[in-house]
Chains A and B, each alone.
Chain A
Amino acid sequence: MKKWKIVIAVVALVLVAALMLGIYWLTRNGKHMLGSKDITVTVVYADGTDKVFTYHTDAQFLGTVLTESGLVEGDQGAYGLYIKKVDGHRAVYELDQAYWQVFVGEEAAMTGADQIELHDGDSFKLVYTHA
């Protein structure tokens, strides 16, 4: 392969990377350009400490964001997503006599996370709860 072709390819790679970086920066500053939603998820651990996770997403349901981001692991049950682990911390009723309770704002969720619709500015909690 001729050297000038390789040089052009390297330059093109750098330019595309620079373009992607520019688009990324622009969308951070104009984050609503794509109609995306900002949500926060506060995880309250067994020891009472908490950690806040923020997401910039266009997903329709909370469960999608939580599983895609890797924050939660769980199974699909008859009533929707059954969260078993949050941020690596397990709460399985049969093993730990505890579970992860989902709150929409300050109210306990009445449905599974994969049925909770997302809106821009929503806040949620995942609270380690002893049975």
Chain B
Amino acid sequence: MIPHPQRLLHFFSQCRRRALSLLRRRRLHREMEEEMRFHLEMQIEQNLDAGMTTEEARYAARRQFGNQTWLKEASREMWSLNWIETLVQDVRYGARMLWKNPGFSGVAILTLALGVGANTAMFSAVDAALIRPLPYLDADRLVMIWDEMSHIGFPKHYSTPPEWLEWRRSNTVFTDIAATQPLKAILSGMGEPEEIPARKVTANVWTVLGVQPLLGRVFNEDEDAHGVRVAVLSHAMWRRRFGGSPDVIGRSISLNDSAYEVIGVMPQAFYFMPGRDIELWIPTSFSAEMLTQFSWHDVQCVARLKPGVTLQQTRESMAALSLRVSAPHVDVPRSAVVTPLREELTGKTRTSLIVLLGASASVLLISCVNLANLLMSRWAARRHETAVRAALGAGRKRLVAQFLTESLMLSGFGSIAGLALAIPLMRFLETLVPETMGAIRLTLDWRVLAFSAGVAIASGLAFGLAPALGWSRRALQEGLRDGGRGALGPSKPWFQHALIVLETALAVVLLTNGGLLLQSFEHLRRLDLGIRRDNLLTFETPLLRYKKFEQSVLFVNAVLEKVRAIPGVVSAGAISNLPLTEIAQTTRYALPGQTGSETRTQDALSRVVTRDYFVTVGARLREGRFFDGSDQRTNSPAAIVNESFADRNFPGRSALGERFKFGWLEEKAYSYTIVGVLKEIRERGVAEDLKPVIYRLHEQADQTGNRPSGVIIRASVNPSSLAPAVQQAIWSLDKNQPVTRIRTLEEIVDRQLSGPSQSSALLSAFALLALLLAALGLYGVLSASVTQRANEIGVRMALGATSNKILFSFGMRGLKLTLFGLVLGLGLAIITTRLMTPLLYGFEPNYLPIAAASSLILLTTAMAACFIPARRASSVDPLVVLRNE
């Protein structure tokens, strides 16, 4: 309904008048007084004319005039914007009240600060990880495409260059598809050689993502097709290595000993695949041969959906297309899986962040409940004053408004304090997010601040309204009547008790879930990794400069010899991928007599090692032997497999002496003989599944396999102290050889455990906080109840009840509330643990000890909380109390 324009104008001029009147209050005030004076004088004159004496005239006029104060008030109310004046009044009154009770105010503000601060920090993490827009155009239309290879245990697998090409050519659902491959990039010629995180990308990735460079330009299809050596830098790299100077464009840098021209720099907010730490992008420049390799799985595809196409349509279309494309080239035609890009970048942390957000919300809820109870008790103590104000004309609405103002002020201060608390918490949370997110920055941007403000206001209203609404008229009357002696609770104690039960239940839920997480984390920490972790130093020295097989073998052996000569080194070995660090790197194998189609599910992790490797890491054998001097270069080399491989392919018998080949090399392929079966080493990571692994000696791995560029050293001293000596040793052999990622194995393990460890620590912290707050709440309510029923206690004692009986009676009441809360909480916990299972690292939770432990902790804390007020009850002196009657 469009309002009549005339009326609209009228309304606006009314508003303006009101606003103006507010501004010119003082002048209007004076004018009003003058007007009243005039009226009075006129009345006096009229009286004089009517024949009264001066005295009588004045008196009559005054009397007729009535109560001037009330008149002025009423008139004034007409003038000003009423609510602002009353608001200011309420605020000043509220501030005075808060100031006069520093203890209460302090506790309340602190409780709120904790609640609001924790929630703000958690929300900023959720926002940064899950909500904040990705730095791409229309990021919700971006997806990733994977090969569906669940037949070898990888439901989502990297795809291949020819698939990218075909998909790009033949799809009907995308505007374009881009591909990216990993790249080991060693930057040299500028001081020490450094390995930088880098990716190869197809030239259309920039348009698929919809991004523009900050400086210079990005490479185009032409350059990609012709293998032109150009590079685009990240903002961080530009600042760090080139000082942020604009003349970086056109500079030549040496990557992997080839000259590349820097043509562009990306903006600061940009990041691409998979983490935020990628610093450089070069064109993929697929060779013609590469584009026929249907088994070269290291490509990740990113695509943009066509307008109007849904994800479901895309999934169906790509599944069919992929099968068609792969069928002529592979034994097992494979389908494709399409996932939203955002999920890929943030999926791992989603559950834990949401659980933590839920936990912090529960803590806030409990604080609000406590504050509500506290306020109820305090206002009960001020009941007399409130009743008088009510009698003097303050309506119930005004009283509620007054209380709400007080509670909103409390929550206001609490949330400001909370914001201060949130900042260090956010710094801490930044370390929680896993490696794929890189250096994520949590900031107090407008969304987070709005959330914080919303939370503060909501909690202020929650704990302000609840008691205010519980204020019945009867309570007001009672307040007037007995003059405010003693502190009577509000007339509905069951409400407070229900709140206590609720917050106890919440605390129990948090305790049990925290316990679950701790339990799983403990399992994870104690897990047998298959190697002896202590005093192991690791580093990587990429062998890109030793491309020929014999060169690389000689170099590796020379490096190891040099390293062994360092004092403090017990033994040293090398492997193609350090344990715990590489999820894949697999290869197809074939057992004798198998045809192509039979091998389709046979993929194993492939690792190439030096002779001393197993001894260095402290691996154990189930049967057979390690590699030794008898294994030289030959065309029937040896292999060592792990238990998973042996159990899978040779169940129930010894695997020693069995043979296999790497399937895709056909006749030329060496036939490997198994000489040892290794007890499981967790090659893929602390929390990852075990898969079959094949280990080969590097001197025999001339046909296929990566070079052993990861060196591992067992030291007799603190391993980190050997780092400089190690670097020197290598540079004495080749001064341009990069030595990167020097870290101890313990550091690798800790890094993988850091996420889980911090999650469980955080959740446990929330749980303990919740428990503390719930206990405080219980204490507060019982305490108030004791004060309230002091008279009754006195009577009971006078009638013969012993102090022990009183103690018991109050203790029981507290216990009852706790038990209700415990039962309710355990019930709720059963539901919520369902939500927690993805966080438990694949371990089966053992509920009973956790439930028992939580119950015990809760009951002891509750007992402690009840004890003090119960003692107070039992020590009531009946004479004192009854005398006041």
Partners in one complex: no
Residues of B within 8 A of A (CB): none
